[in-house]
Every structure is written in C-alpha cells, then in structure tokens.
Copies of this chain bind each other. A is one copy, B any other.
C-alpha cells in the first residue's frame, strides 16, 4: 500500500521495441518532499546520476522521480545531460510541479541516446496512468525492470506516538549488481525508489538512507560488476502527519532497514540466471571490515557460485576465496557450514553426509556460514548462483 500523498504508475512507451514490457515509470508526491539519494561510485556515472546529484545538492525538496528502462543514458556526453534535464522538465510540466523538483533515473544499454520522442509520449501517457491502487504500484515496479523476472515492491506501516505512517519501496536489479553506494556513488544498475508519508528533515533523511543502504543494497552482488547508473532515492512528504525526530527515528530506521533489506535480497534472489539465493555469513572475525571483505569476496567468486549452481558442497572454494580476500586470518581456526551441516572444521575436511549436503543444496535458499573463531565481528552478504542462463542472458543481451 502506498504512503499518503503519493501517486505512481508505469506504462510502455516503446523503448523496448519488441514485446509488451512497460518502460517508463513515475513516482509523484502531491506536496514537496524531503529527498535523499545514494549513487554509484563509478567514474563513468550516467547522465541521470549526474543530474540527480546536482539537483539534490542544491534543492532538497522534490516532487517526483521519472524513470525509464531499456536505455541507461550512460556514456552519452552533453546530449545525455540535456536529455536527462529535458525528461525532468517534461515531467514537471505534465504534472504541474515546481521548478527543479523532478529527479530522473535510467537503466538499460550503455552508450545509446535516450529516444526522446518515446520519452515525450511516455510522460504524456503517465499523466492518465498514475494512481494509488495496487495495480499502479505493480505497473511502476514493472516499468523499471530490465532482465528482472518479477517486479519487486513492498510496504510497511509503523506507529509513532499514536500516528500511523507508511514506507513503501520498489527496486530493480538482475545484472551489473554489486552495489557500493555513497551520496556520490553505488555498484550495478540497481535502482530503488522509496516513498514515505512521514515528515523528516532532509539531512536526517540522508543519514537514515545511508544507514539502511549499508546493511542492504551494499551487501548484495550478482556478478561483481558495478554499474554506471545505480541509484536509490527516498522521498518523505509528511502527508501522514507523523513527524520523525529524536527517539522516533529508530522506529522509522527499523522500518526502512527492513524494506531495503527485503528489496536487496529480492535483487540477489532474482539475479540474472539465478536458480538459488545464497546468504553468506562470516562470523567470529577480528573486525567488521575483515568479515565484510571476506563475505564479499566469497559472494563474487565465480568458482563458489558455479559450485552452488552445481549443488556441490565444495568448501575448498569457500576457504580459497576467503584466503585471497586480502585480509589476514588463521585458516586453521575456521569452520564452514552449509546450512546447519558442518563441512569443514578448523580449516580441514570433516566427514559429512553428502546426501544431506545435496538435500540442503537442492533448496532454493541456501545459507553458508564461515566462522573464523577469531573475534566477535560478523557480516552478511547476499548473492545468487552462477548458472548457464547467466552466460546465455549476457552473451545475448544487446542483440
């Protein structure tokens, strides 16, 4: 369910020439909203990312975000920046919004210009296609998809001092997924748009978003490839009358963490070609950074990910990936679990029931735990397996 004072929608404007896929979405707030964002750290930032960073740096009251799929508007130079600005202006005019109140987003092929005639038609069509119904949420979430196989959106209500507010979010992912965002910079084309009808001051909103992203989108990887377009935007319009500050913030932060983690997991679950969702927990580490670095290295190891696809409890690839992570630990203290099954004890093989392992690895969701037994810190990272379909999808993407 959408937060109060927001309308969303998604339609097909023909950027994808074949098929019926929707390819342009809008998220509109009736009143100016506090806004915050996090973006790819890539040096080759796409035009919409540069546009959004500029706009958020000077004007933090935002009314809408317009987003297309099928074309990333990346590596498109001055024309790309002009097109992004034009896309925002078209939306501002169509929805009768204040100057400099529209953010933009794009995802798709790099190095092609936005087909502006189609964007014009799309924005026009969106005027009559936004709403607050469940189908509108779904349409918007579908329109930002590229190789995703299903739309990803979720909402959560939270109570503060008797008042009720809602936070809603949608996301897309699938490929070029290895987010590592900051205000100036993420990995992947993952896009996520989050709306809340709570009132929250801009600077605090930015901090809350950073905290939420750190434990969610920045802990997933599909292929280790960081995109030119990664973007997370949050709008808070205050329409619920619930005002967030001081101790209240924790309630909101928890809801936001939950929403972003749920969307992030969904991106890993729906990674290109994925047949399995994998949660990697590195525990017992000497530092949080050490745990995170090892978890991330395992999550991006092609050998680990193909073993998971092959339902193979090949723990040697897990400890080898950990060993090359660039941080120090004693492998002969480490235990490895596949689900609840111990497959490696103190860095060496243990006899385990291979049929039990197969049973665990046949499941859709798999947990791998590496306990370094060397400290009190831990980190989680979420990924998927590396399948034949990943190669098929990506050997055949542009054509």
Contacts and interface: CB of A to CB of B under 8 A. Distances in A.
A349 interface: yes
B312 A398 contact: yes
Nearest to A41: B324
Interface in A222-278: 223-228
A41 B302 CA distance: 19
Given A43-B323, A391-B306, A312 B112 contact: no
Interface in A66-89: 72, 74-77
A267 to B, nearest CB: 16
A43 B329 contact: yes
A395 interface: yes
Interface stretch (A1-9, A12-20, A98-106, A313-321): A313-321
B307 A224 contact: no
A15 to B, nearest CB: 16
B306 A390 contact: yes
Interface string A374-399: 00000000000011101110111111
Contacts of A173: none
A224 B300 CA distance: 9
A348 B113 CA distance: 10
A391 B306 CA distance: 6
Contacts of A395: 306-307, 309-310, 312
B397 A331 contact: no
A301 interface: yes
Contact of A226 (B320, B391, B392): B320
A44 interface: yes
Given A388-B392, A395-B310, A44 B319 contact: yes
B349 A75 contact: yes
Contacts of A41: 324
9 contacts: A43-B324, A44-B331, A44-B347, A74-B316, A226-B323, A228-B320, A302-B390, A306-B394, A309-B391
Given A228-B319, A314-B398, 8 more contacts: A42-B323, A72-B316, A111-B316, A227-B324, A303-B394, A306-B394, A388-B391, A388-B392
